[in-house]
């Protein structure tokens, strides 16, 4: 069970980073992280992973942190 959660967290983090690197630099953190959350949920559910809402909450937080530090300011 613990290894499944570790894999899920890694997948979520990679998805968030992929969305951040593919997104436009001028895109607001709110829309960028909303898209990351939607992508996380769809990928998670399509793979049949357990506890998708909790895993994608972690993705959302990492998106906000990366986005706010990457732009040099606080999230909108």
For the chain, what are the domain ranges?
29-69
C-alpha angle 44-47-50 in degrees, rounded to nearest 5: 60
Length of the chain: 76
Which residue, chain included where needed, has tokens 């937080």? Answer: 61
Directed axis angle between helix 29-47 and helix 52-70, to 10°?
150
The answer to whether residues 6 and 49 touch, using CB atoms and an 8 Å cutoff, is no
Q: Which pair of tokens denotes residue 64?
A: 């906000």
pTM of the model: 0.53
Q: What is the pLDDT of residue 42?
A: 93
Per-block average pLDDT, block size 10, for the chain (76 residues)?
60 55 66 91 91 88 84 49
Spatial contact of 35 and 41, defined as CB atoms under 8 Å apart: no
């Amino acid at each position: 069970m613990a290894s499944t959660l570790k894999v899920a967290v890694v997948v979520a983090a990679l998805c968030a980073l992929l969305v951040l690197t593919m997104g436009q630099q001028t895109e607001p953190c709110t829309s960028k992280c909303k898209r990351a959350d939607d992508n996380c949920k769809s990928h998670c559910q399509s793979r049949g992973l357990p506890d998708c809402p909790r895993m994608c909450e972690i993705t959302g937080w990492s998106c906000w942190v990366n986005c706010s530090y990457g732009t040099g300011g606080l999230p909108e």
